[in-house]
Structures are given as structure tokens and as C-alpha cells.
Amino acid sequence: MKQKIAVYAGSFDPVTYGHLDIIRRASKIFNHLVVSIFTNKNKKAMFTLKERKDMLKKAIGRDKNISIDCFDGLLVDYVKQKKVNVVIRGLRAISDLEYEFQIAGINRMLYKDIETVFFMPSAKYSHLSSSMVREIGKFKGDVSKLVPPYVAKIIKKRLS
């Protein structure tokens, strides 16, 4: 039987409960899920790549069908290299749909075998984004309901 493998790529700066919701649900559908941290050199990340990887490892635990990786460059090049053709994307709100639809179309144009599978987060996470978590943290707000406890501690420490 052919293994069904998918890639869930994002900046995860920081990982949120919304990300973890999608990771857990996607890992139940696919034999293996590669959670890959995208490094965007045009953006200044709050956390280093190592810190983001450590946060994801701690959040995911020892789930045998999930691995964590990193990449920079085009997602289509990364998935070709990994010999994967399914990409997971999250849609929080209708406003995400247009952007994600464009990206999925361009990815398909660049790599005809790529398939994009969209996940809507659970309703309680539909408003949640890493950028909102960072913003709340900058103003010393409580992020404990948005991210795992150790991520909240790291944010508090980083911004104090």
C-alpha cells in the first residue's frame, strides 16, 4: 500500500494552538506528516529557527507519524525534494481563502502533481494567528489561552 505523506509548512513563529489543532487532525488522515518550518529571510522572526523547532518538538511530543523539518525557498522545490505531493494549509477565515487559492494555483502551475488540502481550524482557533500572539505578547497581554504553557513562558521572557 502506498504511503500518504503530507507537508504542513509555516513560520510557526510561535506555534499556536491553532497550528497544533491542524497538525493533530492532519496526522490522523495521513500516514506521515512533515511539519516544516519555513524561514523567510524577508521577515524578522521573533524566535530563531532552533527555538521554533524546539517549541514544535515539545508541543508535538513523540508522535511517530509526525516529523519536523525546515526549509527556505519555494515550497514546490521543497516538496519535490521530499518526494511529497500533498501540502496542508490552514484557512482561518474567508479572507485567507483568496490568498491561499492564489498560492495553490501558482504551486500547481510550478509543479503539476502538487495537491493542496485545506483545513479549517476548530472554531475556537479560527481567529488565532502567530502575529496576533506576538502583538499581544509585546503589550504584556496574556497569551496562555493561545499557545502551549512553555511557549507562553518563552514569549513572556523574551518580551520582558
- CATH number for the domain spanning 58: value is 3.40.50.620
Pairing of strands 5-10, 115-119: unpaired
* Distances, alpha carbon 50 to alpha carbons 68, 86, 115, in Å: 11, 25, 29
Q: How many domains is the chain built from?
A: 1
pLDDT in tens, 25-72: 999 999 999 999 998 888 889 999 999 999 999 999 888 899 999 999
- Please identify every residue annotated as catalytic: 19, 43, 92, 130
Give the structural domain span for 59: 5-159
Mapped onto helix, strand or coil, the DSSP state of residue 5 is: strand
pLDDT in tens, 66-122: 999 999 999 999 999 999 999 999 998 877 889 999 999 999 999 999 999 999 989
